[in-house]
Amino acid sequence: MRLINRHPGKTGARLLAVLPFIALAVLYLAASAVRHAANPDDKLLPTISQMAAAVNLMAFTQDMATGDYLMLTDTLSSLQRLIEGLVISVGISFIIGIAVGMLPYLRKLCVPFIAAFSMVPPLAILPILFIIAGIGETAKVTLIVIGTAPFMIRDLIMRVEEMPKAQLIKAQTLGASSWQMALRVVVPQMLPRLIDSLRLSLGPAWIYLISAEAIAAQDGLGYRIFLVRRYFAMDVIIPYVIWITLLAFIFDVALRLVQRYAFPWFAGAKSQ
Amino acid sequence: MSSIEIKDVWQIYDGRVVLEKINLNIEQGSFVSIVGPSGCGKTTLLRMLMSEEFCTRGSISLDGEALPAEPTLERGVVFQRYSVFPHLTVLDNVLLPMELKASRWLGKLLGPKRYNAKEEARAMLEHVGLRHAAGFYPAQLSGGMQQRLALAQALMAKPRVLLLDEPFSALDPGTRADIHVLTKRLWEETKMTIVMVTHDISEAFRLGTRVIVLERPASDDPAKGARITHDIPVRPRAKDKKGAA
């Protein structure tokens, strides 16, 4: 049988899915064991037990200075910044994207500007943000907004524009005003697409969050890994990176589930 | 009286004449089929009737008044595809025209008003044989059912003229025969004017009271557009069926 026609069974598929993870873990453990055999004080590739000890210290032991559980505090601060930034970004993008996508006057006014503005590298204007907004929360949240909103706006404008024209004509023949069309035809069809757009923006959002925290913060996941880097504390950095990845992954899965259950029509409509 | 008057209409795209000197009077209550080979401009003509396109020269009027510059309530439409809203259930699709009319800012009915409107919508679904599918989304329906739904939705808005753009072309023959019967019944009941564009000649004659043939001259001359080459009355509106309406 041709290769393109061969499919793994259910168990086979699961096995294949976990295989790369296991391979990476095995590779790491082997490399770590080799290095520790040569030099018991190796800091580059800490063993599992060293990382577990570090996690225990960071996550399950009160910090002596502040009485906080550091990993928890870091996680909460980071998530707060990330979610604030994304909520603002989604709100702005949704309103602008739909209005611009629907109204020709706004399109002429805004599309070239948005196209130019989205080319500004967000990290390059981080210093400006720090100067204007100080090194507090505002600058970090603003960076996430500036980093993710232009993409989402452009994506939504395109999604609105690619709606079949027949649908809007039909809505008009049923007596819909522009406002009613926005409310009953465009917005409900754009919500699941906004979720797709948001999922794609999660990666960049984390990049901007961690960058901002690395440069100026008193807590946060990004702050912590850049802080302990000074002591070559790979035993803290690696668990933190895994934890950040896991959080991002959970966000992604959650959004996908929301899309599936809140918009049951979407999968069928997309395949037509 | 909804009569459509197409007077000396030309459509020219970038120097290429698509429609040439179209003159056509469509009487109230008639069912006009427009046939012609693909690319002859019959859909262009229909688009002009729904104000999606505008003629280069000439004029079109509905009941003596020039057509508005945008699609309006009095001219309903059913397309070959994308005629119903994928995010609304069958019932909500039929409910939508009533909701748009009754609720200017929300576009949505609530409470007892919604309940009453739902009853009306269900009656319409019953009428087109879709009552059992009320809770489905359009993507879960067959092509024929989707077009039934599109007809029902268009009729809820009570248009004076219904424009059909190859509405049954994608359906298989059996389904098509069923929906022909339905279309004819709805036309007889509502007494509205229907203009249907199709490339299926037998369909044009089966449904229409008048068949208009659009054709380009044989030469591929860009200065010559499609004209009306035949205007065939099929039969007068059957008087004996009036009682059934």
User: Is there a single domain that holds both residue B189 and residue B201?
Assistant: yes
Model confidence at A243, pLDDT cuts 50, 70, 90, reads very high
User: Is there a single domain that holds both residue B148 and residue B186?
Assistant: no
Q: What's the average model confidence in pLDDT over A136-155?
A: 93
Residue B239 above 60 pLDDT? no
Residue B29 above 60 pLDDT? yes
For residue B221, is it within any domain? Answer: yes
Model confidence pLDDT, tens digit, residues A161-177: 999 999 999 999 999 99
Calculate what percentage of chain A has a pLDDT beyond 90: 83
Model confidence pLDDT, tens digit, residues B88-117: 999 999 999 999 999 888 989 998 999 999
Residue B244: predicted pLDDT: 40
Model confidence at A133, pLDDT cuts 50, 70, 90, reads confident
Model confidence at B243, pLDDT cuts 50, 70, 90, reads very low
Whole-angstrom distance, CA of residue B32 vs CA of residue B224: 24
Point out the domain boundary residue: B99, B125, B157.
Answer: B157
B67, B5 Cβ separation under 8 angstroms: no
A140, A214 Cβ separation under 8 angstroms: no
Domain encompassing residue B57: 1-74+159-245
User: Is there a single domain that holds both residue B166 and residue B65?
Assistant: yes
Question: Which stretches does DSSP call E strand in B127-190?
Answer: 161-165
For residue B79, is it within any domain? Answer: no
User: Exposed e or buried b for every residue in A185-218, given b needs 16+ CB within 10 A?
Assistant: bbebbbbbbbbbbbbebbeebbbbbbbbbbbebe
Whole-angstrom distance, CA of residue B220 vs CA of residue B222: 6
Q: Which member of B87, B156, B157 has the closest CB to residue A189?
A: B87
A104 to chain B, any CB pair closer than 8 A? The answer is no
| Tally of CB atoms within 10 A around A84 | 17
> Least CA distance to B75: which residue of chain A?
A173
Residue B128: predicted pLDDT: 93
Measured between beta carbons, which residues in chain B are less than 8 angstroms from residue A269?
Answer: 86-87, 137-139
**In this predicted structure, which of A63-72, B3-12, B139-148 has the lowest mean pLDDT?**
A63-72
For residue B17, is it within any domain? Answer: yes
Tokens of A165: 């024209």
Q: How far is A200 from chain B (nearest CA, A)?
A: 23
Type of residue found at B159: P
CB spacing of A169 vs B72 below 8 angstroms: no
Q: Which member of A173, A183, A265 has the closest CB to residue B157?
A: A173
Q: How far is B96 from chain A (nearest CA, A)?
A: 8
User: Is there a single domain that holds both residue B107 and residue B167?
Assistant: no
> Least CA distance to B69: which residue of chain A?
A172
Residue B66 above 90 pLDDT? yes
Model confidence pLDDT, tens digit, residues B110-152: 989 999 999 999 999 999 999 999 999 999 999 999 999 999 9
User: Is there a single domain that holds both residue B174 and residue B241?
Assistant: yes
> Least CA distance to B152: which residue of chain A?
A174
Domain edges within chain A: 11-45, 57-265
Model confidence at A134, pLDDT cuts 50, 70, 90, reads confident
Residue A64: predicted pLDDT: 84
**In this predicted structure, which of A184-198, A243-257, B1-15, B136-150 has the lowest mean pLDDT?**
B1-15
Mean pLDDT of chain B: 90
Residue B3: predicted pLDDT: 87
Calculate what percentage of chain B has a pLDDT beyond 70: 95
For residue B69, is it within any domain? Answer: yes
Model confidence at A66, pLDDT cuts 50, 70, 90, reads confident
B84, B150 Cβ separation under 8 angstroms: yes
Residue B229 above 70 pLDDT? yes
B109, B95 Cβ separation under 8 angstroms: yes
Point out the domain boundary residue: B157, B186, B217.
Answer: B157
Model confidence pLDDT, tens digit, residues B163-211: 999 999 989 988 999 999 999 999 999 989 999 999 999 999 999 999 9
User: Is there a single domain that holds both residue B179 and residue B239?
Assistant: yes
H or E element, residue B211: strand B210-215
B187, B194 Cβ separation under 8 angstroms: yes
Q: Which member of A170, A180, A263 has the closest CB to residue B83?
A: A170
Strands B227-233, B210-215: pairing kind: antiparallel
Number of independent structural domains in chain B: 2
Backbone angles phi, psi at A149, to 5 degrees: -65, -45
Point out the domain boundary residue: B125, B157, B189.
Answer: B157
Residue B238 above 60 pLDDT? no
CA A237 to chain centre: 20
User: Is there a single domain that holds both residue B111 and residue B215?
Assistant: no
Residue B45 above 90 pLDDT? yes
Model confidence at B62, pLDDT cuts 50, 70, 90, reads very high
For domain A57-265, the CATH architecture is: Orthogonal Bundle (1.10)
> Which long-range contacts (C-beta less than 8 Å, at least 24 apart) are formed by A180-188?
A180/B100, A180/B104, A180/B107, A181/A102, A182/A98, A182/A99, A182/A102, A183/B106, A183/B107, A183/B108, A184/B96, A184/B99, A184/B100, A184/B107, A184/B108, A185/B85, A186/A98, A186/A101, A186/A102, A186/A160, A187/A98, A188/B87, A188/B88
Residue B242: predicted pLDDT: 44
Residue B27 above 80 pLDDT? yes
CB spacing of A174 vs B79 below 8 angstroms: no
Q: What is the ipTM of this complex?
A: 0.91
Give the HSE-up count for residue A121: Cα atoms under 13 Å, Cβ half-sphere.
Answer: 5
CB spacing of B86 vs A185 below 8 angstroms: no
**In this predicted structure, which of A95-99, A198-202, B13-17, B176-180 has the lowest mean pLDDT?**
B13-17
For residue B130, is it within any domain? Answer: yes
CATH number of the domain to which B22 belongs: 3.40.50.300
Residue B1 above 80 pLDDT? no
CB spacing of A269 vs B107 below 8 angstroms: no
Model confidence at A28, pLDDT cuts 50, 70, 90, reads very high
Residue B241 above 70 pLDDT? no
Residue with tokens 């901002």: A212
Residue B240: predicted pLDDT: 45
B71 to chain A, any CB pair closer than 8 A? The answer is yes
> Least CA distance to B79: which residue of chain A?
A166
Q: In what order do the strands lie in the sheet with B161-165?
A: B75-78, B161-165, B193-197, B31-35, B210-215, B227-233
Q: What's the average model confidence in pLDDT over A116-125?
A: 91
Model confidence at A268, pLDDT cuts 50, 70, 90, reads confident
Count CB pairs under 8 A between chains A and B.
92
